[in-house]
Amino acid sequence: MAVSEANNYTDANIRTLEGVEHIRMRPGMYIGRLGNGNNPGDGIYVLLKEIIDNSVDEFAMGFGKQVQITIEEKTVTVRDFGRGIPLDAVIKATSVLNTGGKFDTKGYKKSVGLNGVGTKAVNALSESFYVCSHRDGECSWAKYERGELKDSGKAPTKEKNGTLVVFQPDPLMFTDFHFNMDYVETMVKNYSYLKKGLTLVLNGTSYKSENGLLDLVNENLSEDPLYPPIHLEGEDLEVVISHGNAYGENISSFVNGQNTRDGGTHLAAFREAVAKTLKEFFKKNYAPEDCRQGIVGAISIQIQEPNFEGQTKTKLGSTYMWEKQEKDEHGAIKTDIGPTIRSFVNDFIAKNLDNYLRMHMDIVPVIEDKIKNSQKEREEIQGIQKKTREKNKKANVYNRKLRDCRFHYNDKVTEKNQENVEASSIFITEGDSASGTITKVRNANNQAVFSLRGKPINCYKESRKRVAENEELNLLISALGVEDDLENLRYNNIIVATDADDDGMHIRMLVLTFFMKYYPDLIRRGHVHILQTPLFRVRNKKATRYCYSIDEKETAVKDLKTGIEITRFKGLGEISSDEFVDFIGENMRLDLVKLADEESIANIMEFYMGDNTIDRQNFIRENLRSEEELEDVNL
């Protein structure tokens, strides 16, 4: 009986990946996503951050007050003036996994990079990588290509102490990538806010903060706060708190200078502590969500040996401020732990926020009025939503509108399901035709489909009560799981999938207006996307091209040359299931919906969804293709 090739499992199948080969084969384990630079979470920004983190850690230890960063097209240069890598360890520190100076607290007490991976990942995923360490009149350097050492040496130097790194991300890994300098500037600004006294120079422009997190919050306020931001500083903890009239919570969080955009134990403790302290100050049992409605603020915490969920370090998993393991005199392992992050943050805010309010009694009635107004509106809205859900439950509407998936964003992450949880998505579609097409070809493990019926109401023009009474949006809120708390979000990616025609664009704008007004943090945290679907199919007997723009169509026509058939897709339902599977799989094109902290949500919604104005008419004329242009497919 013949043994199939798939079942022929022998010693030859067992491999040991040497050096940084494993990073190139499994980059997602080390930097999260690859991407092309269109998303702030894309890998090229992780590479940049890993190098800057090392320089910032040097400053945190008292060495070097400036970091110079230059980005010229696809080449990145970072120069710090810290201690420099020990000269005999330059090659090890940049190419041997699990090698570094941050595994104990002697060299670096409160750093971000602790796994001995960061610089090695940059090296492995770069087309070229150069490092030079300057220490006390001597330098040691090494050159690599895709993680492979090509040359190295030592020489005298007149340069100041510190480390120079020059790298180019590998185009074989990051296809057609580019650096979005807005993302880079935001990253550099955050470093300056979190490390008072550190100057970062990006392409010749200096960034330095004198007031830390207070500068971050003040510079990023999109509307005037109800009262001047409260700035509280202590050892290893800094917070800023204020309230505004917008919905949701806008809280930036950081650990050891790392922007933890997905939060974690420190952010959860901050949210709990603010609500608890306000309840106790007013001696009333206000709901936590009412105490936090419209909150604007930031928290930065310094801890030893932080435990992040994933190599990209966007969510803190640590429970304690520090944890040590040492051997006693008998050789037994002894574990010593510091206070929990929860108790540390709670105690700090309970004491300092309470003291601040007692010393600034003028803002006390402003805060309480905000809480009371939130409570009144929430209770009214919850009553309406409950009636609407009960009515829909009886009519079995919910089950007809949502085709759920097996894994969700807030499920417990294990090694086996991590990919599914992070890829968990919900497609918001219009009509049965589009939702049916996506449902047929989706990955039921991690892709859900929610079907809208017709156009949702324009939330910008309606009251919160009227929005709560809307069946479509009420069911969407329930499907997302965010009725009570954004932390209960069930999908990592919310994907608006509408037709590429006028009605589809209008529905897209109405859905985005809903998120922008009532759930802006979903956008700020990078959860909301727009699905790109092809406008044209260009094919002949030998090949088929799907084109997402007129320019791509014209290129396809030139390449395929003869016997060409061109199809213009107007709706998702026009694309067959066999074709559509490629557009929501590995080759899915998503546009991230972006909202900078400093952008005024009210101004944005007024421009796009308010009364028709000359400015908006001019914007449409300058930026939108007409239907006639799209229909003009003559060669």
Q: What is the pLDDT of residue 272?
A: 95
The 10s digit of each residue's pLDDT in 486-497 is 888 999 899 999
Q: Which helix (H) or strand (E) holds 421?
A: helix 418-423
Q: What is the pLDDT of residue 406?
A: 86
Higher per-residue confidence, 392 vs 110: 392
Closest by Cα among 625, 41, 28 to 315: 41
Q: What is the pLDDT of residue 163?
A: 95
Maximum Cα–Cα distance across the chain: 88
CA 38/CA 33 separation, integer angstroms: 12
Domain 21-207 and domain 396-533+571-621 have a common topology = no
Amino acid at 2: A
**C-beta atoms surrounding 338 within 10 Å:** 14
Q: What is the pLDDT of residue 139?
A: 94
Q: What is the pLDDT of residue 510?
A: 87
Dihedral angle of Cα 195, 201, 202, 203, to the nearest 10 degrees: 180
Q: What is the pLDDT of residue 435?
A: 82
What class is the 396-533+571-621 domain?
alpha beta
Indicate the SS3 state at residue 482: coil
**Mean pLDDT, residues 474-478 taken together:** 85
Instruction: Give the least confident one: 72-76, 102-106, 229-233, 358-362.
Output: 102-106
**Contact present, 604 and 610 (Cβ < 8 Å):** no
Strand partners, 536: 547, 568
The 10s digit of each residue's pLDDT in 78-107 is 999 999 999 988 998 888 775 444 434 443
Closest by Cα among 479, 484, 510, 483 to 496: 510
Residues in the chain: 635
Describe the strand order of the beta sheet including 126-135 as a list of residue ranges. Answer: 148-156, 138-145, 126-135, 162-169, 75-80, 66-72, 199-202, 205-207
Half-sphere exposure of 135 (CA within 13 A, CB side): 13
Domain spans, the chain: 21-207, 213-375, 396-533+571-621
Confidence of residue 635 (pLDDT cuts 50, 70, 90): very low
The 10s digit of each residue's pLDDT in 153-180 is 999 999 999 999 999 999 999 988 999 9
**CA R_g for the chain:** 27
Confidence of residue 603 (pLDDT cuts 50, 70, 90): low
CA 534/CA 571 separation, integer angstroms: 10
Instruction: Give the least confident one: 326-335, 411-420, 496-505.
Output: 411-420
The 10s digit of each residue's pLDDT in 307-332 is 877 545 678 888 888 877 676 677 77
∠ Cα 444 450 454 (to 5°): 150
Q: What is the pLDDT of residue 458?
A: 83
Distance of CA 247 to the CA centre of its chain: 20
- Please identify which residue in the block is written with the tokens 């996503």: 33
Q: What is the pLDDT of residue 495?
A: 95
Instruction: Give the least confident one: 144-148, 190-194, 394-398, 620-624.
Output: 394-398
The 10s digit of each residue's pLDDT in 231-244 is 999 988 999 999 99
Q: What is the pLDDT of residue 413?
A: 61
Residues in Cβ contact with 581 at an 8 Å cutoff, skipping those fewer than 6 apart? 441
Indicate the SS3 state at residue 429: strand
CA 22/CA 12 separation, integer angstroms: 18
Amino acid at 412: K
Dihedral angle of Cα 463, 468, 474, 478, to the nearest 10 degrees: 110
Exposure of 98 by Cβ count < 10 A (0-12 exposed, 13-18 middle, 19+ buried)? exposed
Phi then psi for residue 324, to 5 deg, are -125, 145
Residues in Cβ contact with 233 at an 8 Å cutoff, skipping those fewer than 6 apart? 212
Q: Given its phi and psi angles, is residue 628 left (phi above 0), alpha (psi -120 to 50 degrees) or beta?
A: alpha
Closest by Cα among 634, 632, 630, 587 to 499: 630
Q: What is the pLDDT of residue 417?
A: 65
The 10s digit of each residue's pLDDT in 178-225 is 999 989 998 999 999 988 889 999 999 999 999 999 999 998 887 889
CA 424/CA 444 separation, integer angstroms: 10
- DSSP-derived secondary structure for 370-412: HHHHHHHHHHHHHHHHHHHHHHHHHTTHHHHHEE--S--TTSP
CA 228/CA 211 separation, integer angstroms: 14
**Mean pLDDT, residues 504-532 taken together:** 87
pTM: 0.74
CATH fold of the domain at 21-207: Heat Shock Protein 90 (3.30.565)
CA 68/CA 135 separation, integer angstroms: 18
Instruction: Give the least confident one: 164-178, 349-363, 472-486.
Output: 472-486
pLDDT higher than threshold 90 for residue 389:
no
Q: What is the pLDDT of residue 313?
A: 63
Closest by Cα among 455, 464, 461, 475 to 397: 475
pLDDT higher than threshold 90 for residue 610:
no
**Contact present, 271 and 287 (Cβ < 8 Å):** no
CA 471/CA 144 separation, integer angstroms: 59
pLDDT higher than threshold 50 for residue 283:
yes
Q: What is the pLDDT of residue 103?
A: 37
Phi then psi for residue 227, to 5 deg, are -155, 155
CATH fold of the domain at 213-375: Ribosomal Protein S5; domain 2 (3.30.230)
DSSP assignment, residue 168? E
The two tokens of residue 172 are 């074989």
Q: What is the pLDDT of residue 461?
A: 75
CA 311/CA 315 separation, integer angstroms: 10
Higher per-residue confidence, 40 vs 1: 40
Strand partners, 306: none
The 10s digit of each residue's pLDDT in 229-276 is 999 999 889 999 999 988 888 898 998 878 888 888 999 999 999 999
- Cα distances from 135 to residues 87, 109, 162, in angstroms, run 7, 21, 7
Q: What is the pLDDT of residue 485?
A: 80
Share the mean pLDDT of the chain: 83
Q: What is the pLDDT of residue 542?
A: 87
Closest by Cα among 136, 150, 38 to 91: 150
Strands 544-547 and 205-207 turn out to be: unpaired
**Mean pLDDT, residues 357-364 taken together:** 96
Helices (H), 442-549: 464-468, 471-480, 502-518, 520-524
CA 109/CA 324 separation, integer angstroms: 13
**Contact present, 385 and 476 (Cβ < 8 Å):** no
CA 212/CA 252 separation, integer angstroms: 13
